Amino acid sequence: MAMSDNLKESTEQGSGNFISRGLKFLSEVRGELARVTWPTRREVWATTIVVILTSMVFGVYLYIVDVGLSTFVYWITGSSNG
């Protein structure tokens, strides 16, 4: 019984003033965003290029592996490649 009373009290307190809780949340978000270290434009470009090049390298690698394995499977099964 005491457990349900505690739960009821906590929900009553938490459902208090919705607007004041929302404003407090937004002020805390603003404070956290002020502490964020944002990357420079140059850093964003550099990391973007690294991601694009890495994706291209892995794409070519996976294409080569796929073609090789497909050729191997067609060779083993005796199917025509087409």
pLDDT, tens digit only, all 82 positions of the chain: 455 555 555 555 555 589 999 999 999 999 999 999 999 999 999 999 999 999 999 999 999 999 999 999 999 998 765 5
In a shared domain, residues 25 and 11: yes
pTM for the whole structure: 0.54
In a shared domain, residues 46 and 65: yes
pLDDT of residue 74: 93
pLDDT of residue 40: 96
In a shared domain, residues 30 and 44: no
pLDDT of residue 78: 85
Structural domain that includes position 67: 39-82
In a shared domain, residues 25 and 44: no
DSSP-assigned states of every residue in 10-66: HHHHHTS-HHHHHHHHHHHHHHHHHH--PPPHHHHHHHHHHHHHHHHHHHHHHHHHH
pLDDT of residue 79: 73
